[in-house]
Amino acid sequence: MTKRFRFLPIATFLGFAFLYIPIIVLVVFSFNKSKLVTVWGGFSTHWYGELLQDPQILGAAWISLRIAFISASLALVLGTLAAFVLTRLGRFWFKPMLSGMTAAPLVMPEVITGLSLLLLFVAMESMFGWPAGRGFTTIVIAHTTFCLAYVAVVVQSRLSDIDESIEEAARDLGAKPVRVFFDITLPTIAPALMSGWLLSFTLSLDDLVIASFVSGPGASTLPMVIFSKVRLGVSPEINALASLMIGVVALGVGLAAWQLLKSPRTKPVE
């Protein structure tokens, strides 16, 4: 008993330390006055100011945010439709396969996803001229594809949790099917939709590999700019930028989790 009592807190502490010390170091050094990344020269917010005057970084951030917004929204619609098919269409023989295929992009190596999408885009362009060249549009399509899987999984688990008789009850009380969807189904799955969107948004914002494959001239996302800058040497400015990104992503994931937690239960209590 006492052995376990000591072991668990220590293991927990070590685990979290392993995960978060690098990030803490990075955030701390983003406030470094010195130009040398590894030498502490006193506290300063100088690099954050520098960041706001760098047009390249600001431009990339703007592109990244727009891509994240559009692809998260598209993924939300498509992923929700997929989730409806998988929970409401009854049983059919290839449903397990379909379910697996929807979730497959979650575990697919990014390099492969990126490469296959690139090949597709090139083939499409030579066949019917769209999308013309690689850039903003192709990144949006690529991000929508893999974010869709996350939305489908989150919404599907929520949908299968809903007691379907609440929809029947609404129909029974005089609501047409469309009305039932907006009055009953949508409010009950809204937290899942919200969290699916936020998750997609942060995933798109984070992605480097897939974007690198399908991007073209003039459409460098923030992670791509950071990566190219780091290759020339890590600067405190990048530390500052990374700290900001960690903040945004943590906020997104936190909100997503909170949305899922606060959703009311619909299953009858036994």
Binding residues vs other proteins (CB under 8 A):
163, 165-166, 168-176, 179, 183-184, 187-188, 264-266, 268-269
Q: Give the nearer residue to other proteins in terms of CB position, either 54 or 183.
A: 183
CA–CA separation, 205 and 202 (whole Å): 5
Q: Are 183 and 175 in contact (CB under 8 A)?
A: yes
Q: Give the nearer residue to other proteins in terms of CB position, either 50 or 183.
A: 183
Q: Give the nearer residue to other proteins in terms of CB position, either 19 or 178.
A: 178
Q: Give the nearer residue to other proteins in terms of CB position, either 9 or 264.
A: 264
Q: Give the nearer residue to other proteins in terms of CB position, either 55 or 264.
A: 264
* Residue showing tokens 């706001």: 52
Minimal CA–CA distance to 144: which of 86, 215, 203, 212? Answer: 203
What is the closest distance, in whole angstroms, from the C-beta atom of residue 90 to other proteins in the complex?
11
What is the closest distance, in whole angstroms, from the C-beta atom of residue 190 to other proteins in the complex?
9
What is the closest distance, in whole angstroms, from the C-beta atom of residue 166 to other proteins in the complex?
5
**Which residues, 6 or more positions from 28, have their beta carbon under 8 angstroms from its beta carbon?**
none
Helix residue spans in 89-135 (DSSP H):
95-103, 110-128
What is the closest distance, in whole angstroms, from the C-beta atom of residue 230 to other proteins in the complex?
47
CA–CA separation, 264 and 113 (whole Å): 36
CA–CA separation, 185 and 161 (whole Å): 12
CA–CA separation, 1 and 79 (whole Å): 47
Q: Give the nearer residue to other proteins in terms of CB position, either 155 or 242.
A: 155
**Which residues, 6 or more positions from 48, have their beta carbon under 8 angstroms from its beta carbon?**
30, 240, 244
What is the closest distance, in whole angstroms, from the C-beta atom of residue 82 to other proteins in the complex?
24
What is the closest distance, in whole angstroms, from the C-beta atom of residue 156 to other proteins in the complex?
19
